[in-house]
Structure 1
Amino acid sequence: MKKVFLVDDEIVIREGIRDRIAWNEEGFEYCGDAPDGELALPLIEETKPDIVITDIKMPFMDGLELSRIIRERFPSIKIIILSGHDEFEYAREALRTGVTEYCLKPVSSADLIKLLQDVSALIDREEREREEMERLKRRVSDGVRHSREKLLSDLCSGLVTTSEAMQTAAKLQLNLVSKCYAVVLSEQECMADAPEAEEVCRRLEELMHGRFGETASYLSFKRSKKETVWILQGDSAAQLQDLGEKLLKPLAEEAHTALSSRVRFGLGSIQDRLQGLYPSFQEAEESLKRQLLPGSPQGPGGDWQGGGEAGGPLRYLDRSPLIRFLKLGSPAAVPSFVREYAACLSEWDGSRSFYYYYLLHDMTATVSQLAKESYPEHERIEDMLQALQSQVGLIQRADEAYRYLEGMIGAFLQVRDGNADKYSGLIRRVKDYMHANYGQSELSLQHIAEHVRMSPSYISSVFSSETGQTITEYLTGLRIGKAMELLRSTHAKSYEIAYQVGYQDSHYFSNLFKKSTGMTTREFRRNQAQSGHPDEGEERHAALS
């Protein structure tokens, strides 16, 4: 219900307008009146009307001056001027001031109601437009945030070159230039009860961003619900060198004291090139995992360079060959694979136990994580994994370690081979999700993986091997196919169709459409109008569904 305020120096007119209109029945609230602009201003500020009706000729402050002040101080208020002066100069000055309507006296109740209803409709329309604009701004902001996080994630994963990263960063107005870089990986655990956990986690995020911002320039992105990656930037290695003591340890203590929360930090080495973020991130990940091993020191530590035990530097195993074998290897090849992959265990003679226990824990964690991601519905998987993990502490020599690894990998392969027929259901779930959400520009492999509750890398690998297409290729084909349908069945413009099928950049969509179909969108629509039948390109893309 819109509120109306009246300003007129003639009491007869004020009372007449006030009493002759059934305000509530017409959808309005009469919130007050005043005899001149000077007295009206404090009342307008107090009552906050949506519409002000004012005369022009009034003592002390006339209607035009009042209108100018209202437009400056309360720009959302609509102004209707009622005047007995049928002169062009008054009307022109009123329009210049920004009034909404200019009406000559005398005016009937019916005409005034019609005028108010028109202004009310204008207010509603502008409100809807503002809401739509805010919604579009949020979508653009979300798209920029997602693109920003993807770029930082790709840098830490080694998936993008320096040149590509700089070009993308320039478009996102993201400053990647620095003399030195280092990666910190944080894992936070909120200890509050369930009803309070969300608020405590939010405050913990704010605390960490505040402390990092006070100490160093940084970029960050969420790796998971509990993990955040911090890319620190500095002018020299010395500037970043002592952050372990000055920032991370006090921050972990403050989180524990103030918020009853636990934060662990993994530190990567300091690098002088952007491409160094990849090894720095890997080292931060290894540093964080070492803290989870039995008997390991808890806390962030203070040495950026890492290090080993007395026997020399630690050698960490590349998980890629292990994961590849778990997905594709045969049971008969398990013993030979274990001895080749974990050849460093052959040196285990009872010394440096912490290092070898770390390697076993790391391989066990890799197998466990892949098993949980790949076969979450397997009824015995949890029992099997717990039984395996309980055996690690009993191992003392290399031959025992090899037998343990052979048994663990063999058990995984049994589960894998017994669940091969489940791939079809997984592929269907992935495709169904893409069909339901292809119109969302932010749809990504990460979103799909979260939906099916498996890792992005595993989903990508299974989908490619089972369908012969990458997920990106399938999604592009799906979107182009939907665009063809819209071009054939609607009169929507090319940029509108691009938006509907998930592309915010209409030029990118047009280029992709021509690359996929051999025709521009205009040529395709003209071809459809002439033939009345789908062409080969449309049939090919329709086959995706």
Structure 2
Amino acid sequence: MELKVLILDDEEIILEGLCSFPWERYGCKVSGKATNGLAGLEEIKKQEPDLIVSDIKMPEMDGLAFAKEARALLPDVEIVFLTGYDNFEFARKAIKISAAEYLLKPVDMKEMHHVVEKITTKIYGTRQKISDYKELRKKYKEALPVVKNKVISDLIHGRYSDYSNIKRRLSSFNIYLRQFAVLYGRPHTINRDVQMDLDEDLFNFVICNVCEEILEKYGAKVYYEIGAMGYCFLVSFSQVIDSVDCEKKCIDACEEMKESLKEVLQMDISFGVSNSSLDVSLLSEAYSQAVDACERCAYLGEESEVLAYADVVDLKRSSWQLNDGEKNRILSELVRGNVETAKMFISQVFMRCDEIEASKFSAMELLMTCYRYLNNGITAAEEKKERYSILSESLKKIHNSYTKNGAVDVLKNALMYFSNLNSGATINRNEHMAGRIYEYVEHNYIEDLSLDFLADQFKMSKTYINRLLKNYCGKSFLEVLVDMRMKKAEQLLVSGEMKVYEIAKSVGYHDQSYFIRVFKKYYGVTPNAYKKI
């Protein structure tokens, strides 16, 4: 953006001379001129210049009085004084008004260039700093939700060693945890067709948005974290209430969230609810309570899909257990089909435990967790029955094992079985989706199709669409599209009923010359030459 310059001088010749200075060389333009200070003030109000070049000796209002008023209107404006008097008193007053420079008449053009370059460099430097600051503020505001979530995540997972300043840190982000509880939700049945129709980020957003709306209805401020195996919701109440009432609110909200997610996403989910607390240093403990309660749902039957930690706290548990990171690593390897890597990691993890009962409990817990994830979307009754039978048998074998190694071996075999089945199901789903995309292109190749359009249509990434087509059709989206168009173009050419430009349009090309180039590249000859073959 050009800098605006206002020039004041009561001598017309000098005024015009200053206006003809090559201001554009320094990114400036003369936006106004005046022959006295009063007229100059009017120009300031209209133009809001960045730089003022003003004579000192002028009628009605001299340059010094004008500059003082100008500075009041535009505190950051740069001012250059011109005067025919080499007078120290004038210079002293000019400096007091914070003039940028002080030049003598007649103006030396070399000195003028030097002064203008110096001042414009300063103005542009200041503007850049302001711009950088604004951009930084903008980025900070955009990143603030992420930063807030990081602070909450660090608290939840116990990453702070010193809680003395944590309230101050939270308040700096306008996070106030007076009375809070943690809810942990873990899906155990997901309709894969519904999930695949939504991008993963959108799928997670829908879950969190549904839950957040319901929790806010119960008077809670909500912070959430999406994990590989479940969803954590930190709910904070602005008023301190009885802990029993607080937990009841959370349980009622979880019941409503469960029903809403069932209706919206055809998804079944279990929730664990921690004890309520007033002490942020206990947030990590509350998270563990919620996860613990959620995991207990698997052992207490189908009706126990919302469980408070207060109801299971008396159930004793070994001090040793797999942490979330270890569970996520094992599950991630199984989902990717890296069964041997998962088995090796399981062996390493269980080597740390010397207690047979703790090993058996953790093995059963891990098997249940992986079963829920790897068998989501199975709808065939016979297949569900067979898989559940394998699960029940494996849990019984682990429970009855006399050695740690025996329990771990049963765990590995069961996980390998479910992982292999999951890989087959994934392949079938991917083939089905690739077929849907291929069929859509086949029916709409005449339209202006693009990867962006398909990504929006099928709610998945462009890269994933290309990968699906490449894996199951052997070609990228563009290759598939060109194939279909060229084969149809060949049929129309052979029939001889249409002209080349008509064929081009009928197979999706609006530019005849571009169609001819594509055709020649595909068949090695032009359309007209192909007709004669």
TM-score normalised by the chain length of structure 1: 0.48
By relative contact order (CA 8 Å, sep 6+), the higher-ranking structure is: 2
